[in-house]
């Protein structure tokens, strides 16, 4: 068996790469690891929560996961269709040993995935994932499976959504009365939760793509397809639009004039609000190396330090925990507020954006306007050897020369692909023409390195 876990759990084409047999095996292995870590025996019987998004294959995979967990001796509580951050939150609140979310996030309907959360709702450490993979590669031997009273039981949590919504309201610092929001639920896990959360906080809500049928999740809608939301916000004369992805762990926004407000701008809005309220620990924001230079310049102007990590919410979460910081996220719209969530929470992010608007009285366009985005060009360069590019003195000198020429008005980032023989050349500059010229020069050089 090859490497199971990617950067965000186990993911693949449902009933092909991600079969019910594999789902059962992973779930059983996870439960066995928990039992071993707790010391074994009936008294160490673990509790697992299982949630899913509404894609059709989730029903099949939920059954397999519940079977695998209970067959390994874990009690299972099904949460039904809920956002990923709700599963993480409830894992902590209900004192579960394991949380399982069945979702492929923003991927198209045919895909699905399994995300695992440790006790407290945190992502599993690499070492625990390695243990689960080791168990998954070795099926239980005769006599190792529990029998009789030691087999796990499967029950439901009928008030799971209500518990999560109450938590969101408590984490919203200002009522949203007077705001009209159009929310694109991507026909996903936010379809019921997001409109209810925003209405209960006081907003007037127009819901789009909130009728999941199992097959239409992310189909031309959601945070990766914003055109429809942009048009709807203008047509309805709304104050803003909010777009979620299939499992609602991310959030992008649209201003009243139909312009997109990306994750960098959202982070700036929240960081300045939290600093004013004394909630921004060490006056520091955590984001990835892909964040636009415009965000860095805006935060510098506001007196806020920016700490950067490698690309991926896993690295943002690690930095947040290591430094006890209170806000971090990515340009894609994953935003983490550790005081209220252990992972990215799109609904919480949407509520905090609107709370800032309601308390401040300014439009989203005005609030987000502190970030003057620099034009960004990204070129994927096929290479013979990624490592050779990384150690090339010629490339390093060329990058340094281009950055010196930009004189603080832009930046250059070369990043090897994690899965392909590619080097990504990203350039930000005062104009798109300048960014394109620099990117093309560097891409040409990178392609020659052997």
Q: Give the pLDDT confidence of 1-33 residue by residue, as tens digits.
A: 456 777 678 999 999 999 999 999 999 999 988
- The full set of domain ranges for the chain reads 10-158, 163-368, 376-448
> Is pLDDT at 253 greater than 70 in this prediction?
yes
Q: What length is written for the chain?
A: 450
pLDDT of residue 269: 98
Mean residue pLDDT of the chain comes to 93
> Is pLDDT at 157 greater than 80 in this prediction?
yes
Report which DSSP code applies to 351.
Answer: H
pLDDT of residue 240: 98
**Of 108, 45, 36, the residue nearest 75 (C-alpha):** 45
Q: Which two tokens stand for residue 330?
A: 């990515």
Report which DSSP code applies to 291.
Answer: S
pLDDT of residue 450: 87
Alpha helices for 10-136 (secondary structure H) = 20-37, 57-71, 84-93, 126-136
> d(Cα 171, Cα 375) in Å, to the nearest integer?
35
Q: Say whether 103 is catalytic.
A: no
Mean pLDDT of 337-343: 97
Q: Residues within the annotated binding site?
A: 105, 245, 247, 249
pLDDT of residue 365: 98
Q: Which two tokens stand for residue 277?
A: 């309220």
**Of 338, 365, 178, 348, the residue nearest 259 (C-alpha):** 365
> Is pLDDT at 339 greater than 50 in this prediction?
yes
Decide if 124 contacts 118 (C-beta within 8 A).
yes
**Of 125, 126, 100, the residue nearest 114 (C-alpha):** 100
Mean pLDDT of 191-201: 98
Q: Residues within the annotated binding site for Mg(2+)?
A: 105, 245, 247, 249
pLDDT of residue 36: 74
SS3 100: strand
pLDDT of residue 2: 53
Q: Which of 5-14, 358-367, 379-388 has the highest mean pLDDT?
A: 358-367
Mean pLDDT of 216-228: 97
Question: Tens digit of pLDDT for each residue in 44-79?
Answer: 689 999 999 999 999 999 999 999 999 999 999 999
Mean pLDDT of 333-360: 97
How does residue 282 score in pLDDT terms, banded at 50, 70 and 90? very high
pLDDT of residue 142: 74
Mean pLDDT of 384-411: 92
> d(Cα 450, Cα 301) in Å, to the nearest integer?
42
pLDDT of residue 38: 60
pTM of the model: 0.91
CA angle (242, 432, 371) in 5-degree steps: 40
How does residue 143 score in pLDDT terms, banded at 50, 70 and 90? confident
Identify which has the larger pLDDT, 96 or 33.
96
Catalytic residue among 28, 57, 105, 223: 105
Residue range 163-368, CATH number: 3.40.120.10
**Of 393, 414, 361, 374, the residue nearest 174 (C-alpha):** 361
> Is pLDDT at 312 greater than 50 in this prediction?
yes
Strand 180-184 versus strand 204-208 pairing type? parallel
CA dihedral sign of residues 361, 169, 325, 417: negative
What CATH architecture applies to the domain 376-448? 2-Layer Sandwich (3.30)
> d(Cα 265, Cα 251) in Å, to the nearest integer?
12
Tell me the angle at which helices 346-360 and 160-170 cross, rounded to the nearest 10 degrees: 30
> d(Cα 230, Cα 279) in Å, to the nearest integer?
31
Mean pLDDT of 383-395: 92
Nearest-10 Cα torsion for 233, 235, 237, 242 = -10
pLDDT of residue 313: 83
Q: Which two tokens stand for residue 139?
A: 């099926």
> Is pLDDT at 145 greater than 90 in this prediction?
no
Q: How far is CA 127 from CA 63, 74, 124, 130, 447, in A?
A: 27, 21, 8, 5, 37
How does residue 419 score in pLDDT terms, banded at 50, 70 and 90? low
Strand-pairing partners, residue 211, are none
Distance of CA 420 to the CA centre of its chain: 22
CA gyration radius, the chain? 23
How does residue 39 score in pLDDT terms, banded at 50, 70 and 90? low
Contacts of 239 (CB under 8 A, 6+ apart): 179, 180, 181, 256, 357, 363, 364
- Residue 153's Cβ-count burial label (10 Å; 0-12, 13-18, 19+) is exposed
Q: Do domains 163-368 and 376-448 have the same CATH topology?
A: no
**Of 227, 226, 222, 224, the residue nearest 194 (C-alpha):** 222
Report which DSSP code applies to 334.
Answer: -
> Is pLDDT at 42 greater than 50 in this prediction?
no
How does residue 197 score in pLDDT terms, banded at 50, 70 and 90? very high
For domain 10-158, give the CATH superfamily. Alpha-D-Glucose-1,6-Bisphosphate, subunit A, domain 3 (3.40.120.10)
- Side-chain-facing half-sphere of 181: CA atoms under 13 Å: 34
Identify which has the larger pLDDT, 3 or 431.
431
């Amino acid at each position: 068996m090859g490497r199971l876990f990617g950067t965000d759990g186990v993911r693949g084409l449902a009933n092909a790469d991600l079969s019910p047999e594999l789902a059962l095996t992973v779930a059983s292995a996870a439960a066995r690891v928990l039992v071993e870590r707790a010391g074994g025996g009936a008294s160490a019987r673990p509790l697992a929560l299982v949630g899913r998004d509404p894609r059709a294959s989730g029903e099949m995979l939920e059954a397999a996961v519940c079977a695998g967990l209970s067959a390994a001796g874990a009690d299972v509580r099904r949460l039904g269709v809920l956002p990923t951050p709700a599963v993480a939150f409830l894992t902590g609140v209900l004192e579960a040993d394991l949380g399982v979310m069945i979702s492929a996030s923003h991927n198209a309907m045919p895909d699905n995935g399994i995300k695992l959360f440790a006790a407290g709702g945190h992502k599993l450490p690499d070492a625990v994932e390695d243990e689960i993979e080791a168990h998954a590669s070795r099926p239980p031997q005769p006599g190792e499976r529990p029998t009789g009273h030691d087999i796990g039981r499967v029950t439901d949590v009928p008030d799971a959504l209500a518990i999560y919504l109450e938590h969101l309201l408590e984490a919203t610092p200002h009522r949203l009365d007077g705001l009209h929001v159009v929310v694109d639920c991507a026909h996903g896990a936010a379809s019921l939760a997001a409109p209810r959360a925003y209405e209960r906080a006081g907003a007037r809500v127009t819901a789009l793509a909130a009728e999941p049928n199992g097959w239409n999740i992310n189909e031309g809608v959601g945070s990766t397809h914003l055109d429809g939301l942009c048009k709807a916000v203008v047509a309805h004369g709304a104050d803003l639009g909010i777009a979620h992805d299939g499992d609602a762990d991310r959030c992008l926004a649209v201003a009243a004039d139909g312009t997109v407000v990306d994750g960098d701008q959202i982070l700036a809005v929240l960081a300045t609000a939290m600093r004013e309220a004394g909630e921004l620990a060490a006056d520091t924001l955590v984001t990835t190396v892909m964040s636009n230079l415009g965000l860095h310049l805006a935060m510098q102007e506001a007196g806020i330090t920016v700490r950067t990590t490698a690309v991926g919410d896993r690295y943002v979460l690690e930095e947040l925990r290591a430094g006890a910081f209170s806000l971090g996220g990515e340009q894609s719209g994953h935003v983490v507020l550790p005081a209220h969530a252990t992972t990215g929470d799109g609904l919480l992010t949407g509520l905090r954006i609107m709370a800032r608007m309601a308390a401040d009285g300014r439009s989203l366009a005005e609030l987000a306007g502190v970030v003057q985005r620099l034009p960004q060009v990204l070129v994927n360069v096929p290479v013979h050897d990624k490592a050779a590019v990384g150690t090339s003195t010629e490339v390093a000198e060329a990058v340094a020369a281009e950055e010196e020429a930009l004189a603080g008005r832009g930046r250059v980032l070369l990043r090897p692909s994690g899965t392909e023989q590619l080097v990504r050349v990203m350039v930000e500059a005062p104009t798109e023409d300048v960014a394109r010229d620099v990117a093309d020069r560097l891409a040409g050089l990178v392609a020659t390195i052997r």
